[in-house]
Structure 1
Amino acid sequence: MQSNKFIKDLPVTGFANEGKSIAHAEGKVVFVKGAVPGDVVNVRVLRNKRDYIEAEVMEIVQPSKDRQQPFCPHFGPCGGCQWQHMKYTAQLAYKDSAASETLERLGKLSIKQKLPIVGSDQDRYYRNKLEFTFSHKEWLTPDEFRSNTSEVRSPALGYHLPGAFDRVFDVKTCYLQPHLSDRIRLAIKIFTLDHGYDYFDLRKQTGLLRNVIIRMTTTGEVMVVVIFTHNEDKKIRALLEFLRLEFPEITSLLYVLNSKKNDSIYDLEILNYFGRNVIRERIGNLDFNISAKSFFQTNTRQAEKLYDCIKQFAALKGNEIVYDLYTGTGSIALFLADSCKKVIGIEQLEQAIVDARINASLNSISNVAFYSSDISKILNSTFVKEHGTPEVVITDPPRAGMHKDVVGELLKMEPQKIVYVSCNVATQARDLHLLSEKYSVEKTRAFDLFPQTHHVENVAELLKSF
């Protein structure tokens, strides 16, 4: 079976890791793009390897009971909401099952209690931050390209194609943020095209307009950050003044000059055109200042449910020392502070620790301390001796999971309880397997912070077993 060949009447049986649909043909696993378990499909073979086949759906012969019509016109090319062709109840079921199966299969773990997944009340319009890219030439789908008889490619303000730094498709509408985000983005595009602004050429690294970031809070505040490549004062001020007058909802209007070859703004100065430098978010009874550079959970309402679960699993009595590893901006540490003696937060990113300390002061919380350092280097017997042995450790590492030295140090310090929060259940399973030398998994609970995608967060409560 060669590439560009077809397989007909292929039953799709389930999902593999990373949200790929799976089927079987000629003794091989077939990874199918665009399918839903329960579909019967005709597919085109993209790659035929020795042990597996990669294919894409060409025709749905019989739709799954879990299939639905995608709601977004950009479904397919956009990498954002890959599961919107599947009913939300089915998404939750597959995520819940995947989290438990991954822990048991990869971690070889016995889980005493599996609590049901916590779905999102909003399966659209849930993100508090989006970033869009200006491009001097929009990417077109094959159908759009064939129908574009003028062969003129318009500028785009939208998202990168997955895995393609120099291809940007123009976003007409996006269901990830409230409608105000669409209005702001489309107004920026109309104004800048009408007034002759140059969009960024991602290969040549030329053009004035580079990116725009829109952040929104549940308290109703809005931040817009426009990133320019260089200082054309007249054009910059004209655009920003237009936004200030056109959108009174904007409470923080900022801009950045970025002449680098990458889009990161974390090492650049944030310039204020109008309003405050921050917007304010609220989780539980806590307020958080969010700056242009702040790291913050992108689904605020689900984050509060997640933090409630962490607090329940921690079961603090009021006299404990708690370590919060990979603390980020300290939101979990601050959420737990009223239930324990003190919290020690550790995070490698210095800007995040700056934000954590600001938010501790904002909420008049004095029993927290934050340290900026590589956790694998700072977490040792000297640090523990100085700050006290924790009864409870919260750990919320990045997708790569915990460094092996951090796992080793946890086994040495032997806290009574570990609450492990993960955005990658595979690396969580690896780490929990290592910790099973001294810990048992009491409870787990999955959370859907990213509806319409395969991503799932998972919380595990570990108790010292001897």
Structure 2
Amino acid sequence: MSRSRRVDPAPFEAGVLDLAHDGRGVARIDGKTTFIADALPGEWVRASRVSRRRSHDDAVLVEVLEGAPDRVEPHCPHFGTCGGCSLQHLEPGAQRKAKDAILHENLQRLGHVAAERRWPPISGPAWGYRRRARLGARKVDKKGRVLVGFRERRAPLVADMDSCPVLAGDIGALIPALSRLIGELSIARRVPQIEVAVGDDRRALVFRVMDPLSPADSILLDRFGSEHDVDVWIQPGGLETLQPLREGTPWPGFRLADFDLEFSFLPTDFVQVNAAINQQAVSRAVELLEVKPGDRVLDLFCGLGNFSLALARRGAQVCGVEGDAGLVERARANAVRNGLEASFHVANLFEDCRNASWAQGPYDSLLLDPPRAGAEASIHLVAALRPARVVYVSCHPGTLARDAGILVNEFGYRFSGAGIMDMFPHTAHMESIALFERDGQA
């Protein structure tokens, strides 16, 4: 295990060579890798070390001596303190270029594969895009108020914020009002977080409450919801305790216009954070799979049916599989809502599922949309099912590279193409999409 060593904070100068996967600049000092927060490739900077380890040092930027041409002034005054964004100082087009380079470098270095085509990035709005978020809340006596926001970049504290330009639905402008609201509650110290869920027509806020609300607290929350046109939800325990403050409150929802689909979801459900990118991602996945009416498609990690129902709308016979029973229930309901037929199953996709009834096939194509851990266990279904096409939607380039290596080097698939989708502008998070084709397929 790498251990932190005594740190000399004296400023040093360095040239920045590259951008790391987490958005920090990479320098080499006396042959040792040093990661410098907020530094960009091509810059000459003054920095200060904050930790030393055997493999690398960590440092923070003190001064930019020679700036990169792609450096821009951060849009948000909280950048650098708030941990929600790490790349606002880099021009958005350059952010995408850097992420594209990181994706393909990971594919070659970790998976020992290279895509035949490097697709142009899929991009959308750079601001006001984040429809799902988890904000911390903490009463700080020294400041005389409740702080509401993302965690600080270098400490597990709630950042002192009064706005957030990446939150969708103008939720970022409500941060001061949320601070005042929680400060007025009798349980102000027992509200540790607020989840944000923005649909196409509704805005929901889920208050995590560790103690019961008093009648006066409920009145304050209800008044806040009315005044700011948001739906207030309460979560006193696990996800099963989620409830709207007002009985009968509609769930948020979103549309996929290209497929004439409407989805409804609980405010705590997983949905893709960026609505504009999700629209493009679904259309691209369906296009890459080249589905025809009657084609049999297996959709693993299907969630609410985001991809499944679009494929069904194109006439495919779709089987969706997901580990979260609640999401499967909502996927089935969304199929009924849209007048579509699709089968959905609950299964732990991080285990060997080759003996499951739904895994017997046959399937013409397969879609994977796993979490950060990737699809290493589920990928072995490909060897048994041999679908002609596999589309892999990834949120972590390292696990995509690992799984791409299995598909190409072990199972003999062609790696036809890959590209990034800029789901999280101004952050180092990276979403990508890749296509694998069975040898001999057009």
Instruction: Give TM-score scaled by structure 2 length.
Output: 0.91
Q: Secondary structure at the match of 2:223?
A: helix
The C-alpha deviation readout for 1:203-239, integer Å capped at 9, x for no partner, is xxxx3x333233222x332223233222233123221
Which residue in 2 is equivalent to 1:199?
188
In structure 1, C-alpha distance between the alignment counterparts of 2:226 and 2:393, rounded to whole Å = 43
In structure 2, C-alpha distance between the alignment counterparts of 1:234 and 1:352, rounded to whole Å = 33
Quote how far apart the aligned CAs of 1:381 are: 4.6
Which residue in 1 is equivalent to 2:132?
129
Which residue in 1 is equivalent to 2:203?
222
1:160 pairs with 2:128: no
Which residue in 1 is equivalent to 2:236?
257
Match of 2:366 among 358, 373, 393: 393
Which residue in 1 is equivalent to 2:74?
70
Quote how far apart the aligned CAs of 1:364 are: 0.8
- After the TM superposition, list the runs of 4 or more consecutive aligned residues in structure 1 that deviate by more than 6 angstroms: none
Q: Is the 8 A contact 1:107 1:430 kept in 2?
A: yes
Kindly tell me: are residues 308 and 185 of structure 1, through their superposed partners in 2, closer, same or farther at Cα, counting changes over 3 Å?
A: same
Matches within 5 A, 1:262-281: 265-273=238-246, 276-281=249-254
Q: Secondary structure at the match of 2:136?
A: strand
Which residue in 2 is equivalent to 1:370?
344
Match of 1:190 among 168, 176, 180: 180
In structure 1, C-alpha distance between the alignment counterparts of 2:243 and 2:169, rounded to whole Å = 26
Quote how far apart the aligned CAs of 1:336 are: 1.0
1:282 pairs with 2:255: yes
> Structure 2: which amino acid aligns with 1:410?
V
Matches within 5 A, 1:229-378: 229-247=210-228, 249-250=229-230, 252-258=231-237, 265-273=238-246, 276-284=249-257, 285-366=260-341, 368-377=342-351
Which residue in 2 is equivalent to 1:145?
none
Q: Secondary structure at the match of 2:58?
A: strand
Q: Is the 8 A contact 1:13 1:23 kept in 2?
A: yes
Instruction: Give TM-score scaled by structure 1 length.
Output: 0.87
Match of 1:175 among 142, 152, 165: 165
In structure 2, C-alpha distance between the alignment counterparts of 1:115 and 1:92, rounded to whole Å = 12
The C-alpha deviation readout for 1:20-53, integer Å capped at 9, x for no partner, is 2101121112211121112110111223333422
1:432 pairs with 2:404: yes
The C-alpha deviation readout for 1:423-459, integer Å capped at 9, x for no partner, is 1111111111111122110111211000001112111
Which residue in 2 is equivalent to 1:409?
381
Unaligned runs of 5+ in 2: none
Quote how far apart the aligned CAs of 1:198 are: 3.9
Q: Is the 8 A contact 2:367 2:391 kept in 1?
A: yes
1:17 pairs with 2:21: yes
Which residue in 2 is equivalent to 1:146?
none
In structure 1, C-alpha distance between the alignment counterparts of 2:240 and 2:202, rounded to whole Å = 25
**How many residues are aligned here?**
432
Kindly tell me: are residues 444 and 282 of structure 1, through their superposed partners in 2, closer, same or farther at Cα, counting changes over 3 Å?
A: same
The C-alpha deviation readout for 1:299-320, integer Å capped at 9, x for no partner, is 0111011111111110112221
Kindly tell me: are residues 378 and 433 of structure 1, through their superposed partners in 2, closer, same or farther at Cα, counting changes over 3 Å?
A: closer
> Structure 2: which amino acid aligns with 1:156?
L
Q: Is the 8 A contact 2:417 2:436 kept in 1?
A: yes
Which residue in 2 is equivalent to 1:30?
34
Kindly tell me: are residues 105 and 392 of structure 1, through their superposed partners in 2, closer, same or farther at Cα, counting changes over 3 Å?
A: same
Which stretch of structure 1 is more off in the superposition, 5-14 or 167-176? 5-14
Which stretch of structure 1 is more off in the superposition, 406-415 or 309-318? 406-415
Q: Is the 8 A contact 2:121 2:419 kept in 1?
A: yes
In structure 2, C-alpha distance between the alignment counterparts of 1:452 and 1:309, rounded to whole Å = 23
In structure 1, C-alpha distance between the alignment counterparts of 2:24 and 2:162, rounded to whole Å = 27
Q: Percent identity?
A: 24
Q: Secondary structure at the match of 1:169?
A: coil
Kindly tell me: are residues 376 and 244 of structure 1, through their superposed partners in 2, closer, same or farther at Cα, counting changes over 3 Å?
A: closer
Q: Secondary structure at the match of 1:80?
A: coil
Quote how far apart the aligned CAs of 1:162 are: 4.7
> Structure 2: which amino acid aligns with 1:417?
R
The C-alpha deviation readout for 1:319-357, integer Å capped at 9, x for no partner, is 211000111111111111122431000011111111111
